[in-house]
Structure 1
């Protein structure tokens, strides 16, 4: 960032914000304008600067700036102001992106407004936009924080993110659009979330299918992945499969951690295998 922009921050304590902006606006790039919006510590300042930006003839509203403003309003739980900003955004012909919807899901969810949060996903559907992987993870986290495991799994099935037999309810999209939009997850964290959710719901087969799909897609599992699968298999009475996963884990150079051994300690103790329990203590 240029020296002029750094000097702008030094002048920020001045009461006449508009006068300060007058001095520097023509020198600011769109990226620097975004940084200035993001750096504000109150929603009032964000709105004030944004309104000034819009008053300039050279300024062209863009989705990045609207995202910053909407996030600031959402974090401050200024829902009326947020709705007005959303309406204005539409009037100005600025289209929301996956980042916009993901952010709205996030701020409403963190405010405890789970139902309202999920309505943004419905709005995406009506606009023919399919949630990307980051947005999907945001929704799953919101549902997880709300303790709604079944809702999380239903959402995953709606998204048809992996081939576990779930349908796709985005019927407003054409078949070719769905095929282009629905992609396999590329993040280990996404698969870990799915496996964990199916495990907590007692759905071993679905969890195993997701794990197999993960390997088939070339996404590398980590210690969390193996710990979750070992725990799920063991709790369903498939101890030999759990041990096989440990061997595979070591073959792939993924080091077991304390949690791995604690899981086996618990599993072996449940079946009364004292020798195996003692062996786990030594290895841990």
Structure 2
């Protein structure tokens, strides 16, 4: 059994039965638990993932858990009302994490740095209050668009992310997931030193992602997870297509090969890591 630790299930709405079809294929592929990420297109849609987690059930359908958070691209919408709603959602037992939250200096149109940082700090405070892990979004600044580099100058999103976490979240003693880990071994070393879990997505399989693969081979077995970030980042051989939880099997197979273990062992390791991180997900499952 595999767990997709990060999927945007609310994006599957191109036709009335698309989500049901995606979930059925997930079950058939052996992906029987999914963490649905509750960011939506804006904070008014944070609740969509929890709505799914509390309503989807049935034979041959995966268990769904939810997160809730305000993405850094929507940081300008982290209003007092939005943060109150996040706190309400995060308090629900089926909402197991706050996220994805963090910093992103990648696009010109993203909010200004102080706005992003204020929203990030406020959400880490909420996570601390409800005693839930955080799911971190951090896109490396060195890959930013040229105009974004002009706008944000020498600021580095990764360095700022780590610094803010050390100040505002690390004292809580709660764990965190570095979602869609895209750094190198040095980045992994710093994240692991803070107690993070590293979650690997389909970009692990891309030809130019040797740095990510080196980090994936380096990371301790008890700190790795797999995800799709669906419907984005489909792994090879499906790159360029609409991603979905069933395809996490390709990322898991690539990660297993990198680490010199069988896909079955990789599945067992990442599943145990997810359950350790989120103890409430250790439920009795249908076969």
TM-score interval, normalised by the smaller of the two chains? 0.3 to 0.5
Task: Name the structure, 1 or 2, with higher relative contact order (CA <8 Å, separation 6+).
Answer: 2
Which structure shows the bigger proportion of residues in strand conformation?
A: 2
Structure 2 length as normaliser, TM-score?
0.32
Task: Point out the structure with the larger helix share.
Answer: 1
Structure possessing the higher radius of gyration over alpha carbons: 1
TM-score, normalised relative to structure 1:
0.33
